[in-house]
Homo-oligomer: A and B are copies of this chain.
Amino acid sequence: MTGRLEAQFAFLNEADKLKQVLRATTLADGSRRENSGEHSWHLALYAMVLADQAAPGVSIDRVLRMLILHDLVEIDVGDVPIHSANGAAHGSAETVAAEAAAADRIFGLLPADLGADLRALWEEFEAAESPDAVFAKALDRVQPVMHNIESGGGTWISYNVTAEQLEARVGTKVARGAPALWDWVRGRTRAFFDGRA
């Protein structure tokens, strides 16, 4: 029992470091960069509030768990922005391999049964095939869009993103899990992109 709690808290204390991983995206008011811990919280709230945008059969309870876990590997790998390296860095073979090694180390801190359960949820999220994972990914992609809208452009300016690139890198992923949501959000992005055209 004591050994189990030691392992549980070794993991929870290690997870604390996610609060020091900075993302490219800022807070909605543009005042500072967002960290991946608070981002994960915000996405969990997105899942609770936007549950009515999920396809029938999606389990919001499982989506919440995936979103709480989804960025833990960034403790070792850092955040890889969607629009960095002209859209090529996120999901590259190198990034995928580094994140798998990070998952070995971080979920490996837990008692074996619990580590296997949590890692399986993270792998399901990364694979983006199950309906739960597809919806979770849609939320992960749409939140930075909302922050860029609120802050007047954000990472679209810093990475010189076009409306077409946003549609390809982000819109298709949001629309896959939440099509009506993307229709609405895309409309909200027009003021920015029309202003630049």
Indicate if A174 sits at the interface (CB-CB under 8 A). Answer: no
Please tell me how many copies of the chain the complex holds: 2
Residue count of chain A within 8 Å CB distance of chain B: 47
Residues from chain B with Cβ under 8 Å of A147 in the complex: 16
Distance of A1 Cα from B12 Cα, bound (Å): 40
- Tell me the A63-96 residues at the B interface (CB within 8 Å): 64-65, 68-69
Find the B residue at minimum CB distance from A35.
Answer: B38
Indicate if A192 sits at the interface (CB-CB under 8 A). Answer: no
Interface string of A162-189 (1 = CB under 8 A from B): 0000000000000000001100100000
Distance of A38 Cα from B35 Cα, bound (Å): 8
Residues from chain B with Cβ under 8 Å of A13 in the complex: 28, 146, 150
Given A48-B65, A65-B48, are A42 and B5 neighbors across the interface (CB < 8 Å)?
no
Task: Identify the A interface with B (CB < 8 A).
Answer: 1-2, 4-5, 8-9, 11-13, 15-20, 27-29, 31, 34-35, 37-38, 40-42, 44-46, 48-50, 52, 61, 64-65, 68-69, 110, 114, 118, 146-147, 150, 180-181, 184
